[in-house]
Chain A
């Protein structure tokens, strides 16, 4: 048992990692894939193929639409059938490239073998270019373009790279399986990122409910260190199981005992955090020239007939995955993309997976239905649970009063990380986060407008 964890708040939802023993299984390629152009935070990508074009697996089909944006690659080989708006997971129309699958022909230069390549280029620039070209985005959920994150602003120095293997959300097991089955690749990916950042230390942080993964990664690192000095300085850290440990700010607090200032970035305290799946994608990109065309997805839920960790091509229709595993269970009422604490409820099952889709979770009405909202009994459990030290009861009251944006900002609503601990622990079932998320968006708008005005005034 590790005692190391973040310093305030947090909750302990039941683990429910019922798919932890399911090996990562390759899902057969569907007939058609739908690849959305907005797969990441920032500007949507711009298509660089036309309807009727033949594409191969790994061929870029869309280029970044701005500085914070990313390449998108075809996940299959076949013909582009349409480039048109299509409803996404939330049911909102988004630009999407539809590709009819023909065979499985990969782009030249992509190494599809299983051989592990341990020697990587010393030149940071080559690696960074490859990462950018591979369209890698943060696969921990935020889908922030990785190449942007690996270019710290001038004057900021990184002290430590943290590879986030916490997987603190209940049910999710894809990162755990990745660590167990592709530990070498993850470790090499971590070493590459460490090299790109030019930092001495890297830590692979894993929660102590995954002792197998901790043991395995320690062995992997011992072996790699024997091979090359490039693997020095990478270690494994066991953390106490507590949600939301995998939150960037909480993880930095737990690992480095440093806290990112409100409105600041992790790099301000010398930290860069990357997810396990991202490290694997970096390995694929740099060592194998393989862009993101697939990712591992946990498909789980007590009501679901079969638990699985699947390697899924980007843009695979959800229905195809569900049917592959035996169809939609009758008592499932909610399908969540991601974990139960921060995942998004899916409104449209006709949609397809994205790069950042880490799980499909099926919940029954009993597991997920919200209770009736009661009066606040001022128990303070929300404030006790908040990992940012906020007072959700107060923010809720201010939000509902209306027009209290100044007060909300003073009480740090903009620091909310939307982890859901407050709503999770509220005995009166008050929709705290629903309300706070809205005020946060409003206050963020005000702060941005103010910053823009200040910048304009400077000019």
Chain B
């Protein structure tokens, strides 16, 4: 009896010893030497592994950041400047601060505004739908409404509004990783700067067709009339291919274009006060009148100048 116990203990101990040696040798043989800073960087990362930075995940980003000569091409949109400062501190690099971004849905073709002319009967995916036809409405550029963006978002920041049939971005949860923009086959989701205190202006339409056709398809569409471009004093609005685009870098958030837009395609969000269209229109009218007067005066002056010379 006792010999059995002794034998058992001996064999198990020996086995343990042999395996320990084997494990040690294997570990030595396959040891991977890694820069310890990769671990450090990974620790300060958000850990979402969303791929918004262009790398496969946070670990891949950390690896690339450590190997990169500077951080110009490595930016974590989810962590933003805060995280990037920490990363820069670890690696001893400088960072260029970037304005925080947010995903913006550039389609306002709600069920009401955009009458349906077709019904879809197939796998509920925007990608499948887009490969097949233009969509259920007369607009071949707008939201298809199957929610590929919702499925793509890891942060639960996008949801479909059942009333409008359009996706809604929760700007608090949005990390600007860009997954939704990539998932949208119509390319209507754009990453734009969040703006001061979240205030930002954008054109909520991407339809490149000519005015009358667009108007027929959707009541909320940009018809490319160009009033916004004429109104803007900062050259921030450009109409190209029958659709307006507001350059966030130039926009001064004066909301004049928004007030003048005949279809309501231009949206301003997070402004403390509601848009007072009449006041702005009056302001623009006054300014235009003044400008006209000034032009008149200038013309008159010009007309007089040669007279003076003659005289």
**Chain A interface residues (CB < 8 Å from chain B):** 85, 87, 90-93, 344-345, 347-348, 368-370, 431, 434-435, 437-438, 441
In the complex, which residues of chain B have a beta carbon less than 8 angstroms from the beta carbon of A437?
Answer: 128, 131
Q: Which 9 pairs show the lowest CB-CB distances between chains A and B?
A: A91-B134, A434-B123, A431-B123, A90-B133, A347-B133, A92-B134, A434-B128, A347-B118, A92-B140
Residue B268 interfacial (CB < 8 Å): no
A91-B140, A435-B128 known; A370+B121 contact, CB < 8 A:
yes
| Distance in Å: Cβ of A94 to nearest Cβ of chain B | 10
**B132: nearest residue on chain A (CB-CB)?**
A90
* A92 lies within 8 A of B128 (CB): no
B167: Cβ under 8 A from any A Cβ: no
Complex Cα gap A369–B122 (Å): 9
A85: which B residues are within 8 A, CB to CB? Answer: 209
Which of the residues B122, B140, B209 comes within 8 Å of A434, measured between beta carbons? B122
Could you show 26 A-B contacts with beta carbons less than 8 Å apart?
A85-B209, A87-B134, A90-B133, A91-B118, A91-B133, A92-B133, A92-B140, A344-B132, A345-B132, A345-B133, A347-B132, A347-B133, A347-B134, A348-B133, A348-B134, A368-B121, A369-B121, A434-B122, A435-B125, A435-B128, A437-B131, A438-B125, A438-B127, A438-B128, A438-B131, A441-B131
Docked complex: B271-288 residues within 8 A CB-CB of A: none
Closest to A431 in B: B123
CB distance from B307 to the nearest CB of A (A): 49
Q: Using a CB-CB cutoff of 8 Å, which residues 77-132 of chain B contact chain A?
A: 118, 121-123, 125, 127-128, 131-132
List the count of A-B residue pairs having beta carbons below 8 Å apart.
46
B224 within 8 A of A: no
Q: What number of B residues sit within 8 Å (CB to CB) of A? A: 15
Q: Could you tell me the dominant secondary structure of chain A's interface residues? A: mixed
Type the 1/0 row for B123-152, where 1 means its CB is closer than 8 Å to any CB of A. Answer: 101011001111100101000000000000
- The answer for the CA separation of A92 and B131 in the assembled complex, in Å, is 11
Q: Which residues of A contact B131 (CB under 8 A)?
A: 437-438, 441
Q: What is the bound-complex CA distance between A93 and B210, given in angstroms?
A: 11
Asked if B125 and A87 make an inter-chain contact with CB atoms under 8 angstroms apart, the answer reads no
- A434 and B118 in contact (CB under 8 A), knowing A91-B140, A92-B133, A441-B131? no
Q: Closest CB of chain B to A82's CB: distance in Å?
A: 12
Query: Bound state CA distance, A276 and B258, in angstroms?
Result: 59
What distance in Å separates the Cβ of A234 from its nearest Cβ neighbour in chain B? 39
Closest CB in chain B relative to A273 CB, distance in Å: 26
Q: A87-B140, A91-B140 are in contact. List 11 more A-B contacts (CB 8 A).
A: A91-B118, A91-B134, A344-B132, A345-B132, A431-B123, A434-B122, A434-B125, A434-B128, A435-B123, A435-B128, A438-B131
Q: What is the CA–CA distance of A441 and B130 in the complex, to the nearest angstrom?
A: 13
B252–chain A nearest beta-carbon distance, Å: 35
Q: B152 — nearest CB in chain A belongs to which residue?
A: A402
The answer to whether B123 and A91 have CB atoms under 8 Å apart is: no
